[in-house]
Structures are given as structure tokens and as C-alpha cells.
């Protein structure tokens, strides 16, 4: 065993991190190597320090307040809703601004395209969308925006809210118009996405959906 | 696994059943029982109060939306543990992407914690520890940090860490060794300059 491997093994000092053979090889090396022995002695202080970290128990200062916030943010029966952050400054403002912008843009797009773009909407066999088609335009807009946001939030976590920047970062640079059209497509495929249990599958589905539409459109 | 508030109490079938039926009162009971457990874990990983609370909120929204996927063969806390860990992992990755300057980065540069008053309930010792961990884990990659926290702070076995993070045991050990090597260097550096009070 060389000193490099020996040092690596010395870091894996907790129970179950090294096999019997590895431990034996390390012991043999330490017998003959002064440098590694000194290193091992010095590591002991660090081990004590690491052990002391386990006593660290963060506590919530105001649990009742958090419970209330959680209860306010859980969706009404059956209907999914988007999370409101507990944060008061910075990110919240950015998120709210981004969300409003997206809502306006998507709403305008849907308003213009909802009755023309039957081909996209008919991708979805779900009754929900079939029902939506019979709704008036505004209901369709609101539902579509909410649905898209919920889907993205579910798949990408927080990043889903900032539609423009994070979620589509894995595709090419998109103009606002292109992003809006994807929102409509995502919304139209919501029931298919919902059926996929695994998050990675959902990501793949979305990526494929976007790439397919891109080659179709551009 | 180590003791954690709420970890050993499991919800009964009736409570879960009511939550599946979207009973808000039952769900509130569930939140009350497990929010501290979720917060404890989220805070240890993220080291920032507001980020941890965001993750707790998001966790319960997921639970509300997907509780019918919960199978009673696994412990409720184990199921929740995975949700919290995954959300924290995603959050850390998104911080890296956005070059997010979080409090734990700032703390290392000698800026005081803005939430100090909020942590009144924590002992001074806890507080010092939070600052130290923030300082020491600053330069770790997301994977190294997750492995380090779950193994060395949460006290899980290598096998448990590999299951929670969906990594091979070999990968866990490599990340663990790199994380400890980095932290050890930071630790002795700080010790030599007297920044860590032991
Ligand atoms: Zn050696």
C-alpha cells in the first residue's frame, strides 16, 4: 500500500467504512510508515471534533406559526396549489414578479391560441381538459396557468416557479413567446405527466416534449 | 440511526386514512407531529433557517398531494426523510447553479448571522456549532456535503446514506473521504488561526 491510499483509508475511520482486508493492509502500512503514523495521530483530534457535531439539534423557535403557514399553503380539497414562500424579502419579490409576468404572458397567449390550437390540446385525453375546452376562455386560462405551475413545481421544485430562467435552462435560449407556447403544451399533457411516478421520467418526458415541439415548430 | 424529535412515533393507519381523504384537521395533526423532525433534518443540511422552513413547507405540500402513494410497509418517517433529503439536495444544487450567496457563505467571511435572535431557543453551544459547520463545509460539492451531513452529523450508516441518496456505497465512501479531507484541512487551518473555539 502506498501513502496516498493509506491516507484515504485513514479518513474512513468509522465503523463499517473499511473492509477487514483494507483495515489489515492499513495496519501493516502504519507499522512501517512514520509519516502516515503521525498523520493518523493528528487525525484523532479531528475524529473527536466530528463526533461532537452529532450533538447538534436545531429546534424550531415558533412551531405553531410554521404549522399555520403550512396549513395556509396546502391546496383546497383535491386541487393543487403553488407554495407560498415563508421568506419575506428578496427571493419572494423576485418570484412574485416572475410569476405575475408569466401569468400575464401565458394568459395572453392562451387567450389568443386556445381556440385555434386544438391539435395541442387534443393531445390530452383527460376529461379535465375536455371539460376545460367547454369552459369560457378565462377559466381555461386560469386553470392552465395553475396546472402548468403545479406540474413544474412538482418536477423541478422551487426552480419550477421561475419558469423563464431555471426550468428551461436545459433547453436552448428561449424567447418569452416560446416559453409561453411550451406552458400550453405542458398543460395539455398534464395527465400523461401525472401518470409517471418517477421524477426522472417526468423530466425526460418534459425534455422530449419540448425538443419534439421545437423540431416541429422551428 | 440517531434519535430525532418525532422519529420514533409513527402515525396510525386511521390518521393516514383521514389525510388521504383530505381531512385538514387530521393533516394539521400530522404537521404538528412531524414538522420538527423535518426541520431538524432540513436545517442540518441547509444550515439556514428560512431555507429549512421552505423545505418543510414544500415537504408537507408534497405529502398532502401524494399521501395516497405512501405504503405502510415503510416507516412514515423514512418516507418523509427521503422527501426532505431530496428537496434539500435540489435546493443546494439550485444554489450552486445560481451562485446563490446564502447565509452560511456569508458567515465564513465574518458577517454576523441575521437570524441570531431567531435562534434564541438554541443553546450557545449549538449556535457555535452551526457557525463552525457553515464555515467548514463551505467549499464542499453538493454530493460531498449531503454525504458528510447524513453520515457524520445525522449518524447514518454508509448503506443507509447510499439508499437515501441513490448512490453506490463506493461513491458514498469516496465523497465521504473527500469531504472529511477538505473539512479536516479547514479545521486545522481555523484551529491554527484561533477561529474555532473548542
Ligand atoms: Zn505512508
Model confidence at A34, pLDDT cuts 50, 70, 90, reads very high
- Residue A139 placed within a domain: yes
Q: How far is the CA of A11 from the centre of ligand 1 (A)?
A: 13
- The verdict on A216 touching B (C-beta cutoff 8 Å) is no
- Residue A100 placed within a domain: no
Instruction: Measure A149 CA to nearest chain B CA, in Å.
Output: 14
B149 and B90 in a common domain: no
pLDDT in tens, B137-178: 888 999 999 999 999 988 889 999 998 898 999 999 999 999
Q: In which domain, by residue range, is B167 found?
A: 124-198
A53 to B180: CB separation less than 8 angstroms, yes or no: no
B130 and B46 in a common domain: no
DSSP-assigned letter for residue A76: S
Cα distance between residue A9 and residue A17, in whole Å: 9
B111 and B17 in a common domain: yes
- The verdict on B102 touching A (C-beta cutoff 8 Å) is no
* Domain C-terminal end among B105, B122, B139: B122
- The answer to whether residue A17 scores a pLDDT higher than 60 is yes
B136 and B94 in a common domain: no
Tell me which residue in A17, A42, A74 faces B173 most closely, judged by beta carbons: A17
B35 to A69: CB separation less than 8 angstroms, yes or no: no
B181 and B92 in a common domain: no
B95 and B19 in a common domain: yes
Cα distance between residue A96 and residue A84, in whole Å: 9
Q: In which domain, by residue range, is A179 found?
A: 135-217
Cα distance between residue A147 and residue A25, in whole Å: 58
A8 to B58: CB separation less than 8 angstroms, yes or no: no
* Domain C-terminal end among B92, B122, B152: B122
pLDDT in tens, B42-62: 999 998 899 999 999 999 999
- Residue A38 placed within a domain: yes
Please indicate whether residue A66 or residue B112 has the higher confidence score (pLDDT): A66
- The answer to whether residue A167 scores a pLDDT higher than 50 is no
Cα distance between residue A132 and residue A142, in whole Å: 10
**DSSP string computed for chain B:** ----TTTT----HHHHHHHHTT-HHHHHHHHHHHHHHHHHHHHHHH--HHHHHHHHHHHHHHHHHHGGG--TTS-HHHHHHHHHHHHHHHHHHHHHHHT---HHHHHHTTPPPTTGGGGTTS-HHHHHHHHHHHHHHTT--HHHHHHHIIIIIS---HHHHHHHHT--HHHHHHHHHHHHHHHHHHHHHHHHTT-S--
Mean local confidence (pLDDT), B109-137: 60
- Residue A89 placed within a domain: no
- Residue A32 placed within a domain: yes
Among the residue ranges A75-84, A143-152, A157-166, B135-144, the one predicted with the least confidence is: A157-166
**Structural contact between residues A168 and A180, judged by C-beta atoms closer than 8 angstroms:** no
B117 and B49 in a common domain: yes
B97 and B24 in a common domain: yes
- DSSP E strand boundaries for A120-214: none
pTM: 0.59
B129 to A53: CB separation less than 8 angstroms, yes or no: yes
A83 to B57: CB separation less than 8 angstroms, yes or no: yes
CA-closest candidate to residue B175, choices B137, B145, B152, B153 = B145
Tell me what percent of the residues of chain A surpass a pLDDT of 70. Answer: 43
Instruction: Measure B50 CA to nearest chain A CA, in Å.
Output: 6
**Structural contact between residues B55 and B87, judged by C-beta atoms closer than 8 angstroms:** yes
B103 and B5 in a common domain: yes
B167 and B95 in a common domain: no
What is the pLDDT of chain B when averaged over all its residues? 80
Q: Report the domain count for chain A.
A: 2
Quick check: helix, strand or coil at residue A105?
helix
- The answer to whether residue A163 scores a pLDDT higher than 60 is no
B118 and B130 in a common domain: no
Quick check: helix, strand or coil at residue A57?
coil
pLDDT of residue B120: 44
Please indicate whether residue B142 or residue B189 has the higher confidence score (pLDDT): B142
Mean local confidence (pLDDT), B122-148: 83
pLDDT of residue B180: 93
pLDDT in tens, A62-99: 999 999 999 998 887 654 444 444 444 445 555 555 56
- Residue A84 placed within a domain: no
- Residue A82 placed within a domain: no
Which CATH number fits the domain that encloses residue B181?
Answer: 1.10.10.10
pLDDT of residue A168: 39
Inter-chain CB pairs, A–B, below 8 Å: 134
Q: Report the domain count for chain B.
A: 2
B67 and B130 in a common domain: no
B126 to A61: CB separation less than 8 angstroms, yes or no: no
Residue of B nearest to A48 (CA): B198
- Residue A99 placed within a domain: no
CA distances from A30 to B13, B147, B181 (A): 55, 27, 19
pLDDT of residue A111: 52
* Domain C-terminal end among B103, B122, B141: B122
Amino acid at each position: 500500500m502506498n501513502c496516498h491510499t493509506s491516507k484515504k483509508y485513514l479518513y474512513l475511520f468509522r465503523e463499517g467504512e473499511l473492509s477487514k482486508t483494507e483495515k489489515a493492509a492499513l495496519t501493516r502500512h502504519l507499522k512501517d510508515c512514520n509519516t502516515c503514523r503521525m498523520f493518523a495521530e493528528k487525525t484523532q483530534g479531528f475524529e473527536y471534533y466530528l463526533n461532537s457535531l452529532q450533538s447538534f439539534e436545531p429546534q424550531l423557535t415558533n412551531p405553531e406559526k410554521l404549522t399555520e403557514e403550512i396549513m395556509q399553503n396546502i391546496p383546497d380539497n383535491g386541487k393543487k396549489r403553488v407554495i407560498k414562500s415563508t421568506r419575506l424579502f428578496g427571493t419572494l419579490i423576485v418570484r412574485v414578479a416572475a410569476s405575475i409576468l408569466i401569468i400575464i404572458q401565458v394568459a395572453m397567449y392562451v387567450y389568443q391560441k386556445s381556440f385555434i390550437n386544438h391539435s395541442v390540446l387534443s393531445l390530452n385525453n383527460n376529461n379535465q381538459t375536455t371539460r376545460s375546452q367547454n369552459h369560457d376562455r378565462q377559466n381555461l386560462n386560469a386553470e392552465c396557468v395553475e396546472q402548468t405551475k403545479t406540474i413544474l413545481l412538482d418536477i423541478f421544485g422551487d426552480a419550477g416557479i421561475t419558469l423563464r430562467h431555471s426550468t428551461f435552462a436545459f433547453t436552448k435560449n428561449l424567447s418569452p413567446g416560446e416559453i409561453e407556447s411550451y406552458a400550453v403544451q405542458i398543460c395539455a399533457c398534464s395527465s400523461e405527466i401525472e401518470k409517471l411516478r418517477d421524477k426522472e421520467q417526468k423530466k425526460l418526458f418534459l425534455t422530449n416534449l419540448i425538443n419534439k415541439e421545437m423540431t416541429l415548430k422551428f | 440511526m440517531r434519535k430525532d424529535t418525532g422519529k420514533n412515533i409513527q402515525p396510525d393507519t386511521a390518521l393516514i386514512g383521514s389525510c388521504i381523504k383530505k381531512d385538514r384537521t387530521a393533516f394539521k395533526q400530522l404537521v404538528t407531529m412531524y414538522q420538527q423532525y423535518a426541520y431538524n433534518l432540513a436545517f442540518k443540511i441547509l444550515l439556514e433557517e428560512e431555507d429549512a422552513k421552505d423545505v418543510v413547507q414544500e415537504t408537507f405540500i408534497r405529502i398532502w398531494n401524494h399521501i395516497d402513494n405512501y405504503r405502510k410497509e415503510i416507516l412514515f418517517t423514512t418516507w418523509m426523510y427521503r422527501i426532505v433529503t431530496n428537496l434539500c439536495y435540489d435546493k443546494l444544487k439550485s444554489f450552486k447553479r445560481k451562485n446563490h450567496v446564502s447565509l452560511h457563505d456569508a458567515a465564513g467571511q465574518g458577517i454576523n448571522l441575521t437570524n441570531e435572535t431567531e435562534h434564541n431557543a438554541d443553546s450557545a453551544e449549538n449556535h457555535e456549532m452551526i457557525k463552525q459547520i457553515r464555515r467548514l463545509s463551505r467549499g464542499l460539492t453538493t454530493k460531498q456535503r449531503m454525504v458528510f451531513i447524513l453520515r457524520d452529523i445525522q449518524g447514518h450508516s454508509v448503506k443507509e446514506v447510499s439508499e437515501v441518496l441513490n448512490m453506490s456505497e463506493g461513491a458514498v465512501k469516496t465523497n465521504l473521504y473527500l469531504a472529511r479531507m477538505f473539512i479536516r484541512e479547514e479545521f486545522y487551518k481555523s484551529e491554527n488561526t484561533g477561529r474555532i473555539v473548542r
